[in-house]
Structure 1
Amino acid sequence: MSSSLVETVDVNAPVELSWALWSDVTKWPSFLSHVERVDPLDGRCFTWWLSLPGADKYFTAELTEVIEEERIAWKTVAGVHHAGVVTFHRLSDTTSRVTLQIEYDPQGFVEHLGALTNLDKALTNYDLGQFQRLAEELAAQ
């Protein structure tokens, strides 16, 4: 059973700032609550270290598409099946919209339960809220 999420947040920060924050994979642990760390392997591949309820996981993903200030897409090449894309939309000179789409195969009881109860959606919304707060703090500086 594959699970799919699509969530969007509007950010009071220019698209350039939203892009810069998200495109730096080493910043992900500061706004993605389940990501412990991300280790870049080269310019296109990186390993994610996750801490999830009931399980710690890691997987290696590669960037499949990068269009500056517009789109970042990835898919796993080792570990769990996971793919995603985040898109950046300029709403004005000072605001942007960030949309995150994720496809994954839930593994084990906890992940299946999360997909069935929309806990995965709640976690994604929380993380986008954390991203929004961080980007807006940076924009205010």
Structure 2
Amino acid sequence: MSKVAKVEESVEVAVPVGVAYNQWTQFEEFPLFMQGVERIEQRTPTLTHWVTKVDGVSREFDAKVVEQIPDERVAWTTVEGEVHQAGVVTFHRLDDRNTKVMLQLEHEPQGAVEHAADKLGLVKRQITQDLKRFKTYIESRGVETGGWRGRV
């Protein structure tokens, strides 16, 4: 059994909490700011299918939203596929125009290459860069492209 690795990163974005939250619920747009995510298909309001390619390694998996509270949090876990992870992203209102987005992820590295990447901090670095790209993406737009405000 693989050792579970944990990563926690955050970024402050200059948009209201509702805008940041709504954009984060637009899973099919993650490839626009998440490196290595090639495609996400929203199959149901709580089930997504992911296609990723990192360092030449392609993976597919399904993830299920297990908790969702508008403007506060979205939590998920993988349910099918080669990737085993769970996480939560929380949204913290700093003031009317600024939000802290915090991502916490637990994952099981598969194989020697992923274990080495985790030990070298590459997963944490990737998440940091993805959050910075999310910041650039949402701040350059100023408004969300959509939003799902259901509760899970």
For Structure 1 versus Structure 2, the TM-score category normalised by the shorter chain is: over 0.9
Give the structure 2 partner of residue 127 of structure 1: 130
Q: Distance in 1 between matches of 2:17 and 2:133?
A: 16
5 Å-filtered alignment, 1:1-141, equals 1-79=3-81, 80-139=83-142
Q: Distance in 1 between matches of 2:16 and 2:117?
A: 33
Q: Distance in 2 between matches of 1:41 and 1:109?
A: 32
1:93 maps to amino acid: D
Between the aligned residues of both structures, percent identity stands at: 37
1:78 maps to amino acid: E
Q: Once the two structures are superposed, what CA deviation does each residue of 1:9-37 show, in whole Å capped at 9, x if it has no partner?
A: 01111111111111111111111111111
Number of equivalenced pairs: 140
2:50 maps to amino acid: W
Runs (5+) with no aligned partner, structure 1: none
SS in 1 for 2:65: strand
**Higher relative helix content:** 1
SS in 2 for 1:129: helix
Could you tell me whether the CA contact under 8 Å between 1:54 and 1:110 is conserved in 2? no
Runs (5+) with no aligned partner, structure 2: 144-152
Scaled by the length of structure 1, the TM-score of the pair is 0.96
SS in 1 for 2:11: strand
Q: Distance in 2 between matches of 1:139 and 1:46?
A: 26
- The CA deviation at 1:121 is 0.7
Could you tell me whether the CA contact under 8 Å between 1:38 and 1:47 is conserved in 2? yes
1:65 maps to amino acid: E
1:122 maps to amino acid: R
1:9 maps to amino acid: V
Q: Once the two structures are superposed, what CA deviation does each residue of 1:35-77 show, in whole Å capped at 9, x if it has no partner?
A: 1110111111111111111411010011000100110000011
Structure 1 residue ranges (4+ consecutive) displaced by more than 4 angstroms after TM superposition:
none
SS in 2 for 1:5: strand
Scaled by the length of structure 2, the TM-score of the pair is 0.89
